[in-house]
Each structure stands twice: as C-alpha cells, then as structure tokens.
Structure 1
Amino acid sequence: MYQWIEWIASRNMPLSEVDDPLTRSMSKLKAVCSKTLKRYMSLLMTAVEAQISAEMSGLYGYKSTLYLENCVALYGVYWQKGQLKLVLLAIAPMEEESSLSFLIGDNCATNQAIAILLNVPLIGCASHRFNLAVNSYLSYYKTEVEAVSALMAALRTINNRAALLEYTSLFPRRPNATGWSSTFEMVARYRVDAVFDLTPKATTHRQIEALLEDLRVFQSVTLKLQLEALTLADVRALFDSVAERFPSTKAKLSATAPIVHSPAFEVATVKLIGN
C-alpha cells in the first residue's frame, strides 16, 4: 500500500490513477481502488502528524516560504536527539503559536510586523539581506552596468547575434531588476574577447574589469550562503569580511544594521554558537 501512496504523491498524480486499467496492467503492485488508497493516506497522515507532534513537544521555531499571494509553506525547526530537524508542516497559516520561539524569513516589513505581533525575534534570511547589500553596492557602478547592458542589447539583434556566434557560443545576457546575479553573468560575458573589443574606451574596460572582480567575490559568498551546514556564526564571519572589504555594504550587513529586526538575539545566538 505504501508503494502506491509513494507513487501517487511523488508524481503528484490524482488518486484515480490507481483505478486506471492501463496503470494496473503496467504495475507489479497488487491492485487497489482509489477509495482504499485515500483511507490509507489519511491513516498515514495521522501517524506522521502524531510523530512530528511528539518530536516538537518542546520549544520550536518556524520559517516560511511564500509561494502564492495568500499561501505560505511552513517548516518546523527543532532539535531532536541531537539533530536539527526541518519538517514541512503545511501550506497554510499556523494556528498555534504558544510555544513559538522565533521566526525565519526575508527581512521584509510584513515578516517584521508578524514578529512584532507574535512578540518573537525574527532571524532574517541571509541571502535576501546579502542581495540587498550587493544591489546597493552596484548603484555606485550604474554607469558601467548600463554601458554593458546597452552593448548586450545591441548584440541581441539577429544580425549581430549571428556574427557573434562566429567567436563564441555564449549568448548576450541582460540583468533583471531584482537579482544581482544576472548582472554578474552579464558582466562576465562582456569579458569574452569578441565582445570586449567592441567597446573602445580603455577607462571603461578597466572599470568594468574591476567591477567583475568584485562581483566574483560576491558570487563566492552567495554560494557559501547556500550551504546547508552554514550557521549564523558563519554568516556573521562572511558578512564582516565583505563589509570590511566593501564599506558601502555595512548599511545592510553590519550586526546592528537597521534592517535587522532582532540584533540582540542574533548577536547572542552567534556568541553561543561560537562558544
């Protein structure tokens, strides 16, 4: 029975799939009807809920991921037998907050308002915060980024793209409005020799090359922030290193930056992890 449940759930299939004669003929599993499958899925859900509830009997936190305008995926975060557990609870509002100890989410006004209403600290998303810092840094290179963007726009025309293919298989890239990673990819692609020779000013070359080196540093930090084993102490060390090298990012990356909802809580957590 569990194999049928796994088959339907993992492939996001309708329950009626098990009633289909073709599906039954192609499967070596014992035939089962959709009504029976639904009953066993309900029993399995009850058993899993009871197990998670028992494990989360103490203090816990939750983090949320926005999928739709009015829909939030909730993950329970807790320790169980010395291991950190991250469990998907539901795609729905949380109804019980009496044992809620902290929130994890983007550093947006909505999440900060929720944390204030619940009277719990908010641990802001490090990647979101770093993205804001890099976008702020790139504002000082607006002229260089716009120059490369204009060049890439010209290379996207049919005739120019055909000529570009004689030198490289890479296609011109354009930046998007929010994510700075697309700017890094665009500037990196600018450095391809066939494109590099199209911009005559030597000073522009040097400025864009310097920007590219900085973006490589930011990209390496972004990749490190995606590591599963990363702790708040590791994030603080990365942010301090970036802020020291690029002072303009301190407004977003410092431990006491205005964007931080609960600076005392984060500082205390970093110290505990460090010890």
Structure 2
Amino acid sequence: MSSVSTPLSNKLVCRLLFTKKSKDEFVCSTCSKVCKSAHGYTNLIAHLRSNHPTYLEDASQAARNRNALRLRVVDDETRNIFRWCEWVVMDRLPLAFVERKMTRKNASLPSISEKTLKSYLVRVYQSTEARDAEELPPSFGIVLDGSTFNGRHYIAIFAVFDDPTMCHGTPSDDVSEYFDDTDCFTRRFLLLALCPLDVEEDLGAQSLFDLIADTLSRYNKPWEAVTFMVADNCNVNQYIGSREGAITMVGCASHRFNLAVTDFLADHEALLAKIQALMTKLRTIKGRAIFCTALPTLRRFCATTPDGLAPTPWCNATRSSSRHSTRSGMGLSLILNDFEGVTKTLQRSTLTLSGTRRLFNLVIQRYPKLKPRLSATAAIVNYAALETGIVKLQRKEALTPAERAACVDFRRADETPSLQVPPSDLSIVQQAFKKRKTTKRSRYVDVAFIPPTSNEGERFFSSAKLVYSDLRKRLDASTLEMLMYLMYNKDMWDVYTVEALRS
C-alpha cells in the first residue's frame, strides 16, 4: 500500500487544491481565483505554476491533512466508475442496465453511459489479463471443460497451481482421527480463456489442441509450462493426453463416478421405470392435487399394516409384488443416499487425489460392481501410473519405476540436501566431531494442489448460464468472455486498477 509521499498526479493535485464550481469552472483554494478547464487539467496546473510555485508541497500537505493514516487516495470519480463496473460484473447485469430509467432514478451513484462503462470494462479486462500473466508460476496445470450455449460450444481453460499465500479453509479440528492428505487449502484457480473453437465444424482433438496453444501464447507461456491437465474422460481429451508431446492427463473423478453409477443402475431398470412412470403422473396439475389430498390418508392407512401397505380389498392380489417393489425401492434408496454423499464430497473444492482414492476404495469395498470404473487401474484411466504416482507422492510412499517416469515433471530442479552449519563459537575439535543434521527434502514438489475433478468448470458454466440468459442471446462471445473473466478473477482487479487506467 503506497503512501501519499509518492509523486501526486495532476488530477489528484487539482482535486486537492481546487473546488469544483460548475462543470467547467474550478476555484483555487489558495487565491480564490476562478479557472476554466473543460478537458484535462492543463489550465489548472498552469495557474498553479504561475501563481503558486510551492503547489506540490501544498498538495502534499493537503493530502496528509485529509489522509492522516497515509492511505492511498482515490478520487470520487474513479471510485464511482469502479463501483459501476463491480456492480454490473458481480451481479451479472446487462451493460444497458446503467442507462435504464429506474436505475438512474434509484441508484445513489452518478450516472454513466453504457459506452463509457464498456470501455472501462475492456481496459480493466486487458489490464487484468496482463497481471494474470505475471501471476502465473513457471509451471502449472490446466483444467478443461466445455458447454454449449445457443448452438455454440464454448471451452473454458483454467490454470491451477499451488499458492501458499491464499488459504481457502482450515483443517478439521479432529485431525488426529482423519487422514491429513484429503484436502488442499492452497489450491488456486485462474480463468485463462472462455471462447468457442475457431472451426466449429471440427470439435476434434486438434482444434482443442490449437486452442490450448493459442491461450498459452496470450499469456507468454511455453507449452512446457503446463505439467498436467484435468478433464473429462472422453475420447477427445484422452487423445490429447496420449499423443506424442502432449500434456499428461488426470481424468475427472466425478465423470468416472457418474459412469459407474449409470452401470450400477442398469440392473434396476424395471424399478426405475415404475418410479419414473409414477413421477410423470404426479407432475401433472391433476395428479399433484390428488396426491396432496390423499397423502394424509395414505400415511394413516399405511401405518396400520406391518408391511406398510393399506388393507384394502383390492390390494390382496398384488400385495406380494407390491411388497417386493417397496422393499426394493427402499433398498435402492439407501444405496442412492450413499452415492449422493460421494457425489457431494467430490464437489469439494479442496479435495485431493489421495482423498478421492480413499473414497473410491471404500465404495468399491461396499459395492464391488463399481470396480471396473473406479479402480486405480480401470480401463477408463488415461494414465494410471501418473494418478497412482501422484497419490503416492501425497502419502510419501515409494514409487515404482513406471510411476517415477510418469511423475518426472514434478521433480525438484535442486535436490541437494541442506546441511546445518555448526555454530562458530565451537572449537575446531568440537566442530570436527559434532554431528551435522541434514534436512531431508522431498525430491518432488508438493502435488496436493492437483485437483481430482474438473468440477470447477462445471460450477463456472452454471454461473455463465445466468449471464447468458434467454434475454441476452445477442451477447457476443468476446463480451461474454470479458464479463465472466472479470467475475471469476475478481481478486485480480480493484479500484486501484481503474485509477491506474485513468491516470
């Protein structure tokens, strides 16, 4: 945070030493002379230089008097522009919102035109993109996901890396009862791009490959800077992860679990069809009304029988099959409750690959039918040695030769152990015979930040659909990317970004 002792800009000097009388007239606070200045501050600065040679010292003193804590001074106009930008971006409002009659009538901020707002948003977007290029470390990973809006397929590319300066949570209080490798609280995401493919007729691997390369060139990062990518286990992504010179791929655990649950429910199609038929009838207005009316009676009658079926004369013939369907439905409901808990756990933004493997191992133990999809060496896994190697690195276990080859990108450049220097006050004999403690250092970097899923992209596209709503289908791809970029990377721009653009 800079102090007011830094050189003041002409705009800030004029704000401190002049009082605005009208749109084009300013009154000097020292001599009370009225000066005209329609555009810029040239006339005002010329008056100060001619009549008040010590105007810089006077402005610094005025700034100190107004700002006793020596905080960074931002003028009201800059702050108002920032508030408009922040309001429109974070609340997902259309740009024309600032020119609506009711907005100007009820908003406490001074009015601003849509053209001015968009010009500042574009400049803030460009400034933030340049800052992101500086924030990216020499090596990082990417997360890919895609979604279709209004007939156009968009690809979102995120950078993910370990940032110890940012903490997104704290470990549980009962750390002694749980493993300490299930969560990473220093994982950081940055949105790099949100755009459709250049050739929409070709949604193959080469088009996605070119998009990744173009995105890296925008941030002045070489291809070798990306050490891994996390994406769905579809054929296109798997081909990118397996071709020569490509990026090693970590498959999305949520996608694998969804496929496993789909395979598991294939044995219950008859029961699910009955439930679907019932819910289809209850979706109608008449069916919903009948159900709500009969629900108290059904609960009272069902409570009078041991098997939960109402004792009506016509139900005896179908009681056996109904009892079987009821029990099967209740058993399936308990299983689906377990699956729901697993799904919600996979949605955690701090979950690690090691935690995912522990979770999948228990699911396989309880439901062996899911093993073909969830095992560490399942056929759907693109690079099993990489994923098992990352898990072992988190748990500080020994790697196999195949895993060492797969995790070569995570090795530290300097593996020299650090030796503790003996105190200089010891004699030469004591220094010769004293044991030197060697600080044991891992040969690999901390890989806990590698996400096990691409759910960050899923959450992002859910938010993007609120911006690209049915009433905003004319929004072009570049504007959509700009708005979503600024909203997702909000911590990368603030009021001082706008101030730097206006100075």
| Counterparts of residues 212-231 of structure 1 (less than 5 Å) | 212-231=333-352
For residue 231 of structure 1, report the CA deviation from its aligned partner: 0.9
Tell me how far apart the structure 2 counterparts of residues 14 and 143 of structure 1 sit (CA, whole Å).
47
Pick one of 231, 234, 243 that aligns with 1:108.
234
**Which residue identity does 2:235 align to in structure 1?**
A
Is the radius of gyration larger for structure 1 or structure 2? 2
1:273 paired to 2:394: yes
Q: How many residues align?
A: 251
Tell me how far apart the structure 1 counterparts of residues 156 and 364 of structure 2 sit (CA, whole Å).
32
TM-score normalized with structure 2 length: 0.46
Tell me how far apart the structure 2 counterparts of residues 127 and 58 of structure 1 sit (CA, whole Å).
29
Pick one of 162, 168, 192 that aligns with 2:295.
168
Q: Render the CA deviation track for 1:165-207: whole Å, top value 9, x for unaligned.
A: 12439xxxxxxxxxxxxxxxxxxxxxxx689x97632333333
Pick one of 322, 330, 339 that aligns with 1:209.
330
For residue 112 of structure 1, report the CA deviation from its aligned partner: 1.0
Q: Render the CA deviation track for 1:85-106: whole Å, top value 9, x for unaligned.
A: 1112221233126122111111
Q: Which residue of 2 aligns with 1:41?
A: 121
For residue 127 of structure 1, report the CA deviation from its aligned partner: 1.4
Tell me how far apart the structure 2 counterparts of residues 225 and 249 of structure 1 sit (CA, whole Å).
16
Tell me how far apart the structure 2 counterparts of residues 147 and 25 of structure 1 sit (CA, whole Å).
56
**Which residue identity does 1:253 align to in structure 2?**
L
1:2 paired to 2:128: no
Tell me how far apart the structure 2 counterparts of residues 46 and 16 of structure 1 sit (CA, whole Å).
21
Pick one of 358, 375, 380 that aligns with 1:259.
380
**Which residue identity does 1:237 align to in structure 2?**
R
Runs of at least 5 residues in structure 1 that lack an aligned partner in the other structure? 170-192
Tell me how far apart the structure 1 counterparts of residues 113 and 288 of structure 2 sit (CA, whole Å).
56
1:142 paired to 2:233: no
Do the aligned residues in 2 keep the contact of 1:72 with 1:91 (CA within 8 Å)? yes
Once the two structures are overlaid, the 10-residue window that deviates more, 96-105 or 121-130, is: 96-105
Q: Which residue of 2 aligns with 1:75?
A: 158
Shift in alpha-carbon separation, 1:16–1:139, aligned structure 2, 3 A: closer
For residue 241 of structure 1, report the CA deviation from its aligned partner: 0.6
Tell me how far apart the structure 2 counterparts of residues 230 and 165 of structure 1 sit (CA, whole Å).
41
For residue 30 of structure 1, report the CA deviation from its aligned partner: 3.2
**Which residue identity does 2:261 align to in structure 1?**
V
Pick one of 56, 78, 86 that aligns with 2:136.
56
Q: Which residue of 1 aligns with 2:364?
A: 243
Shift in alpha-carbon separation, 1:204–1:42, aligned structure 2, 3 A: closer
Question: Aligned-pair RMSD on alpha carbons?
Answer: 2.7
- Identity, % of aligned positions: 33
For residue 133 of structure 1, report the CA deviation from its aligned partner: 0.4
Shift in alpha-carbon separation, 1:37–1:203, aligned structure 2, 3 A: closer
Q: Which residue of 2 aligns with 1:182?
A: none
Do the aligned residues in 2 keep the contact of 1:168 with 1:194 (CA within 8 Å)? no
Tell me how far apart the structure 2 counterparts of residues 74 and 2 of structure 1 sit (CA, whole Å).
27
Once the two structures are overlaid, the 10-residue window that deviates more, 10-19 or 225-234, is: 10-19
For residue 47 of structure 1, report the CA deviation from its aligned partner: 2.4
Tell me how far apart the structure 2 counterparts of residues 156 and 15 of structure 1 sit (CA, whole Å).
38
Secondary structure, in 3 states, of the residue corresponding to 2:295?
A: coil
**Which residue identity does 1:47 align to in structure 2?**
S
Tell me how far apart the structure 2 counterparts of residues 194 and 9 of structure 1 sit (CA, whole Å).
55
Shift in alpha-carbon separation, 1:23–1:159, aligned structure 2, 3 A: closer
Pick one of 184, 188, 207 that aligns with 1:85.
188
Q: Which residue of 1 aligns with 2:445?
A: none
For residue 249 of structure 1, report the CA deviation from its aligned partner: 0.5
Q: Render the CA deviation track for 1:245-266: whole Å, top value 9, x for unaligned.
A: 1111000000000111111111
For residue 161 of structure 1, report the CA deviation from its aligned partner: 4.1
Tell me how far apart the structure 1 counterparts of residues 275 and 117 of structure 2 sit (CA, whole Å).
57
Do the aligned residues in 2 keep the contact of 1:102 with 1:121 (CA within 8 Å)? yes
Q: Render the CA deviation track for 1:151-170: whole Å, top value 9, x for unaligned.
A: 4445556665443212439x
**Which residue identity does 1:120 align to in structure 2?**
I
Shift in alpha-carbon separation, 1:219–1:11, aligned structure 2, 3 A: closer
Tell me how far apart the structure 2 counterparts of residues 8 and 263 of structure 1 sit (CA, whole Å).
45
Tell me how far apart the structure 2 counterparts of residues 54 and 219 of structure 1 sit (CA, whole Å).
40
For residue 32 of structure 1, report the CA deviation from its aligned partner: 3.4
